[in-house]
Amino acid sequence: MNFRKLLLITFSLILTKGFLFAADNTPSFKLYGFVRSDFYYNSRQNVEAIDGTFHIFPKPIEISNGIDKNAVPNSEMISVATRLGIDFKGTPILGAASSAKIECDFAGISTSYYLIRLRHAYFKLNWANSELLVGQTWHPLFGSVMPTGPSLNAGSPFQPFSRSPQVRFKQNMSESFALIASASYQMQYMSQGPLGSSASYLKNAMLPSLFIGAENKTKYWTSGLGADVKTIKPAVATITSVSAVAYTQYVDKNIQIKAKALWGENLSDYLMPSGYGVTDSINGQPSYTNFNIASSWLNIVYGSKVQVGVYLGLSQNFGTNKPLVANSSNKFTAYGYGFYQDSQLLLDQLIRVAPHVTYNLTNFKFGLEYDLTSAKYGTLKANGLVSNPYNVNNHRVVASVSYLF
């Protein structure tokens, strides 16, 4: 045996031994995800995201040369919702079981589609009766109850929709009952303001969004409630907003009944038609007042292999806490989804009825949904309500096909 061959064998044994040793301490992982394509048709232009696959609400009437420029149908097929994730399980840390998740899709950011977008990135430590999560995942207002259906928007804008960087602690008080507290920041889902959509308003206020809640979970039932407090600083003055949520669901093999209700202030960072407006000035600087909104939804699904269901949503604007003050052009200034500064139109009410059918196999899913969303717009008044209201409707059809792995 020559020297080169001996050296090669020795080096291979060292690598093999090192690999085996490292494998004992390397986290195990599981790859998951799906390849998904969506086709949609809208009878009207909409406020939307991800090139229209994420539908929010129909746009108001906008007359140009005697024609409503938003009364234009559109359709498209797109596959950017394709998703890839990795779940990790590691060795114990500080007496706790450790795990982590990384998940992404190809929806990009803003209007740059087809780029990889981070969805979840966090680690968890689980002790016997408590859990610590650090990283980005669903905001607690989104919670553990979300609707079942083919649509990518998960019930938005009736469902508060946000993934946020956070530190979250869960304490199990019994086998079924737990208390939850979190401090979160903004990244992809941000507040509206003078600079548009930006995380700087929360950063400049020097405080995270704070949530506290309670949840009871049994074999079939999950129910909970919580409250969230958020302070942002759009310019010199700050504004604090408070929101409260309650939810419940019953899920067994063949039936799912889910419901959520929310009362909130300034919820534009959850893709909801809510925000804040300029009120009286202090030392020449604008101060702000919240718009109040109530939103609720009900989702009923029957079946297993073939599922039929319906999603019902309702949201209502309840005005501002203090009167708005007009600017030098005799217009009110407000920030948030559903308000149009130039026309002074405000989205006052939303109603959605969306029946669907889904066909499920082990590695295949096909869904078809019809969505009727009716939006009531009106001219903004000083109390945050509207005058001269009218309705616009969007008829939407979505067909989704996924290969799951």
**DSSP designation for 93:** B
Q: Are 372 and 402 in contact (CB under 8 A)?
A: no
Q: Quick: pLDDT tens for 184-236.
A: 999 999 999 999 999 999 999 999 999 999 999 999 999 999 999 999 999 99
Q: In the chain, what are the domain boundaries?
A: 26-404
Closest to 272 in 3D by CA, of 316, 335, 337: 337
CATH architecture of residue range(s) 26-404: Beta Barrel (2.40)
Q: Are 62 and 92 in contact (CB under 8 A)?
A: no
Is the confidence at residue 33, as pLDDT, over 70? Answer: yes
Please spell the DSSP secondary structure of 20-83, one letter per residue: HHHHTTSPEEEEEEEEEEEEEEESS-EEEEGGGTEEEEE----EETTEETT---EEEEE-TT-E
d(CA 181, CA 4): 62
pLDDT value, residue 14: 39
pLDDT value, residue 3: 42
d(CA 3, CA 171): 62
> Which tokens sit at 134?
């650090």
Averaged confidence pLDDT in the chain: 93
Q: Are 224 and 260 in contact (CB under 8 A)?
A: no
The predicted model scores a pTM of 0.90
Helix (H, G, I), strand (E, B) or coil at 287: strand
| DSSP H or E stretch at residue 300 | strand 285-302
Q: What is the mean pLDDT of residues 26-54?
A: 95
**DSSP designation for 143:** -
pLDDT value, residue 18: 41
pLDDT value, residue 25: 67
Closest to 336 in 3D by CA, of 266, 234, 392: 266
Lowest-confidence range among 59-68, 256-265, 282-291? 282-291
Q: Are 222 and 216 in contact (CB under 8 A)?
A: yes
Is the confidence at residue 395, as pLDDT, over 80? Answer: yes
d(CA 191, CA 99): 31
Q: Are 266 and 320 in contact (CB under 8 A)?
A: no
Q: What is the mean pLDDT of residues 290-311?
A: 98
d(CA 201, CA 266): 12
Q: Quick: pLDDT tens for 125-162.
A: 999 999 999 999 999 999 999 999 999 999 999 999 99
Phi then psi dihedrals of residue 52, to 5 deg: 95, -10
Pairing of strands 74-78, 67-68: unpaired
400: Cβ contacts below 8 Å, ≥ 6 apart: 36, 37, 38, 39, 150, 151, 152, 365, 366, 367, 368, 369
Closest to 179 in 3D by CA, of 123, 114, 250, 227: 227
Long-range contacts of 370-375 (CB under 8 A, 24+ apart): 370/395, 370/396, 370/397, 371/55, 371/151, 371/395, 371/396, 371/397, 371/398, 372/396, 373/55, 373/57, 373/58, 374/350, 375/57, 375/58, 375/60, 375/347, 375/349, 375/350
Which band of pLDDT confidence, cut at 50, 70 and 90, is reported for residue 111?
A: low
